[in-house]
Structure 1
Amino acid sequence: MKRRIKSLLFLTIAILIITINASADLGIEDRVQSYLIGDFDSGRVLESYNIDKPLQAASVSKLMTYLVVKDAVKEGKLNLNDRVTVTLEIEAVGGSSLNLLEGEVLTVDELLAGLMVVSGNDAAYALAVKTAGSEKAFTDLMNAKAQELELKSSKFYNSSGLQEGANQNTMSTEDIFKLSRHIIEKYPEVLEYSKIKILNMPKRNFTGESTIPLVGEIPGVDGLKTGFTEEAGYCLVSTIDARKSPQSGEFRLITIVMGTADISERSELSKFLINYGLENYGMRTIIDDKAPYSEVTINSAVNPRVPLYPTESYRILTPKAKRYVYKSEINDGLKAPISVGEKVGTMTLSSEGEDIITVDLIVKHDVEQANLFTRIIRAIENTFRTIATMIRQ
């Protein structure tokens, strides 16, 4: 049996701003179709609005195109140096463009740069045909990959995100977050494209500006992808390495805005989400395995007051104002001797009435048994204390 020791263990982490939760109203809900702030490392959604609804993804779809091509390269089915000859069908693809012309020959690597830097729809189509033989076969790969990643609200009809009649690529904002996180984790070199402000291809007399905003404007922002069609509105997936920001946090955020009215609003709201995340969230060691979180009196021990330590640390990105409570359960009948590392109880971390994690409590030093005389004296003292307490009651 165990007894609950509740008193004196309500240790709180008090950091004074405001308490935040993932359903907070940030005041921009009427200016977007959806938004999200997410923690890259844990995959936790920190702040969000309307993230489950499938939305027109526009060129944000190219993130999946990039992933499928990179996976094919990793699996040896494709090589970055493979040459692709531009066909009339590729040249005819509309919208944002790498200005590919029939008969030109580019490498897969060059087409990936055109895909990610200038968001070339023609580059997407060329990569799709090279990878799978046809765009239809490629979109089958895109949808299969979406199922593999459990992107439950994603459906792809082409590699670029262009609308085709009644058909259009759709993704939920939550799916976009999962996909972006997966790509950065698996292929971190994707962030290298964001460093390219102007894509120059001198041999084909092409110069194109990057479509990725905020890079260089906000310290630490290093990606990732834009999207736009008349129906989808203006969309942007951004990511920031907070270690390179003035706030200097040890985390990476991914922010998403979907369906803003224009480019300037897209940038404005993306900046807002980034700054909100940096200002209101921070990495915290909520449980430290090097610090005692409880103490128990063991009368049979040489030193009766025995500190107890958690077996593991717990460090998370959390609202700076969030308060945590620690509650321990100590095993009944503890007696010396107790060996180093022996489990003597558990500690539960909770916040706002919800249990978050439970870890074992151990001793970090041998608890040696006191000699017989000391134990007898302590037993007598405890008996008198108990009697005195009963008299006072």
Structure 2
Amino acid sequence: MTRTLMPAALLALLLVLLAPVPAVADTGLGAPGVTEAQAWIVEDSTGRVLAESNADAAFAPASITKVMTAMVALDAGLPMDTEVAMPAHPEDGWQAAQVAGYAVGETSTLEDMLEVLLVYSANDVGYAIAEKVAGSQGAFADLMNEKAAEIGMTRTTFKNPHGLEEDGHESCARDLALMGRYALTHYPFIARMVRTHSVTVPVNGEQRTFYSTDELMPVYSPLIGIKTGKVEAGTTFLGAARKDGLTLYTCVLGCVTDWGRFEDTRAMMEWAFDGATGLTLADPDQTLETLPFAYRFGFSVSVRAQAAVTGLLWPDGTECSYTRVALSSDQLGIPGEPAGACLWRQGDRIVGACAYVVDPTVSPDAAWSSDPAAPPLPLQRKAA
């Protein structure tokens, strides 16, 4: 059952949602305070662009590339305990590259290498994974480009699995934001690793700890990933954040400094979160409806949200609707038992969700208590 927000308990929310709201460009929010990025974009979980600048311009994606490397490697279907050997890699360009330091011929599991790839952004690991999966760097790049085309990245060409600068290895902020959204929603391993602060794995016979290159993660709690990058052309960051039901994806390219890419990312995310309208969608202290009490005829018991739910609505005039599944009003209410669920949407985006339960504070024998000092029962006598 899908309805606009008509129940009396949600009337105030309805009035807010149905009030005339101008489009994003006319909300008076201004533009995000981006100071370094030459190209950037911020969008929501459906891909709806909230703000952008130069988002289709070609830039070196740097180590953001490794998100695609991980997707292609996982698509290959090799067992995660597959042994991957470190091949000899080219000398040019690698002297100053960030590497894990595996000796040539040293082996590690695919899982360990993927962890180091995504957390520490090790270029030698990307090289080794590509050789193992496809037999050569060129063949692996072909797989990367096939995957890019499959998910709709129309302005991207991959030439290598690590992101070191190479002629023709390029993408744009719009494509990379799409890639980030796809990776986090289709690859649980990637979603977990890009939120990991450090990994400890064996390298050349010794345990080594590698720390995340994402310096924004420890200081910005809404952040949920995903990948840094740095080349001579500038620093980059592909980001994702979630707060009160609103998930954002951002990308900044061509930044000047390491920290500037994080400041620009946080500025975009805070601009979007602050511009959205925060609303209480479900309150566990409020009665949604009542059901006949299962343990005493003539009494009813309340149905409540299992937990408080808040959501953020983007002020672009898109109406919010909800879908609710609930027990029949004649169903007996057993305390603590599930009584339904509700999902709120703004357009195609999920704003929030909650489960409803029969009031769990009521015990089955509560209605029979004869103790005059007992607290008032959260029950109601049904009218005759």
Both proteins in one fold, TM over 0.5: yes
Which of 262, 274, 286 pairs up with 2:257?
A: 262
AA in 1 matched with 2:102: L
Please give the TM-score of this superposition, normalised by the length of structure 2: 0.64
Report what 2:4 is aligned to: none
1:193-212 to structure 2, matched below 5 A, reads 193-202=193-202, 203-212=205-214
Counterpart of 1:99, as a letter, is G
Residue 17 (structure 2) aligned to one of 1, 13, 19: 13
1:34-53 counterparts in 2 under 5 A?
34-40=39-45, 42-53=46-57
Equivalent pair of 1:257/1:270 in contact (CA under 8 Å): yes
* Residues 1:319 and 2:319 are matched in the alignment: no
Amino acid of the structure 2 residue aligned with 1:234: T
Change (3 A) 1:51 1:283: farther
Give the C-alpha shift of residue 205 in structure 1.
4.0
Structure 1 residue 191: deviation in Å? 2.3
Q: Which residue of 1 aligns with 2:37?
A: 32
2: CA distance, partners of 1:98 / 1:31: 29
Contact 2:228 2:237 in 1 (8 A): yes
Matching of residues 233-312 of structure 1 within 5 Å:
233-242=234-243, 249-282=244-277
Of 124, 149, 152, the match for 2:151: 149
Map 1:192-231; keep pairs closer than 5 Å.
192-202=192-202, 203-231=205-233
Partner of 1:55: 59
Say if 1:37 and 1:255, in contact at 8 Å, map to a contact too. yes
Amino acid at match of 1:265: G
State the shift of 1:188 in Å.
2.6
Name the CA shift for 1:13/1:143 in 2 (closer, same or farther; >3 Å).
Answer: same
Return the offset for 1:13.
Answer: 3.5
Question: Which residue in 1 is equivalent to 2:178?
Answer: 178
Q: CA RMSD in A?
A: 3.2
Q: Helix, strand or coil for the counterpart of 2:98?
A: coil
Aligned to 2:70, which of 61, 66, 73?
66
Paired residues for 1:79-90 under 5 Å: 79-89=79-89
Which of 141, 159, 162 is the matching residue for 1:160? Answer: 162
Is 1:83–1:105's contact at 8 Å kept on the other side of the alignment? Answer: yes
Q: In the TM superposition, what is the alpha-carbon distance from 1:206 to its structure 2 partner?
A: 2.5
TM-score between both structures, scaled by the size of structure 1: 0.63
- Superposed, 1:382-393 pairs within 5 Å as none
What are the Cα deviations for residues 269-294 of structure 1, in whole angstroms up to 9, with x where unaligned? 11111111211125889xxxxxxxxx
Query: Aligned to 1:160, what secondary structure does the other structure show?
Result: coil
Contact 1:223 1:240 in 2 (8 A): yes
Measured in 2, the distance between the counterparts of 1:70 and 1:143 equals: 15
How far apart, CA to CA, are the structure 1 residues paired with 2:153 and 2:278? 28
Residue 114 (structure 1) aligned to one of 89, 113, 116: 116
CA distance in structure 2 between the aligned counterparts of 1:152 and 1:37, rounded to whole angstroms? 18
Report % sequence identity.
Answer: 27
Counterpart residue type for residue 254 of structure 1: Y
Residues of 1 paired with 2:138 and 2:33: CA distance? 38
Q: Distance in 2 between matches of 1:108 and 1:22?
A: 50
> Taking structure 1 as reference, are residues 206 and 90 closer, same or farther at Cα in structure 2, changes over 3 Å only?
farther
Which has the larger share of helix? 1
C-alpha offsets along residues 191-212 of structure 1, whole Å, 9 cap, x if unaligned?
Answer: 2213432322254342322112
* Mapped contact 2:39–2:53 kept (Cα < 8 A): yes
Contact preservation (8 Å) 1:22, 1:48:
no
Distance 1:83 1:152 in 2: 34
Distance, in Å, in 2 between the alignment partners of 1:97 and 1:278 is: 36
SS at 2:219's partner residue? coil
Deviations 1:325-375 (A, max 9, x none): 99xxxxxxxxxxxxxxxxxxxxxxxxxxxxx99xxxxxxxxxxxxxxxxxx
Unaligned runs of 5+ in 1: 1-10, 243-248, 286-315, 327-355, 358-393
CA distance in 1, matches of 2:67, 2:30: 28
Structure 2 unaligned blocks of 5 or more: 1-14, 281-310, 321-346, 349-384
CA distance in 2, matches of 1:68, 1:22: 41
Q: CA deviation at 1:229?
A: 0.2
Check 1:29–1:133 CA distance in 2 against 1; reply closer, same or farther (3 A cut).
same
The equivalences for 1:339-354 within 5 A come to none
Match of 2:290 in 1: none
- Retained in 2: the 8 A contact 1:91–1:102? no
Question: In 2 relative to 1, CA 100–257 (structure 1 residues): closer, same or farther, beyond 3 Å?
Answer: same
Cα 1:126–1:160 shift into 2, 3 Å: same
Query: Which deviates further from its counterpart, 214-223 or 202-211?
Result: 202-211
Q: Say how many residue pairs are matched.
A: 275
Question: What are the Cα deviations for residues 299-344 of structure 1, in whole angstroms up to 9, with x where unaligned?
Answer: xxxxxxxxxxxxxxxxx97433x44699xxxxxxxxxxxxxxxxxx
Going from structure 1 to structure 2, the CA distance change for 1:25 and 1:209 (only over 3 Å counts) comes to same
For residues 220 and 119 of structure 1, do their structure 2 counterparts lie closer, same or farther at Cα, with a shift above 3 Å needed? Answer: same
Structure label with greater radius of gyration: 1
Are residues 16 and 217 of structure 1, via their aligned partners in 2, closer, same or farther at CA, if it must alter by over 3 Å?
farther
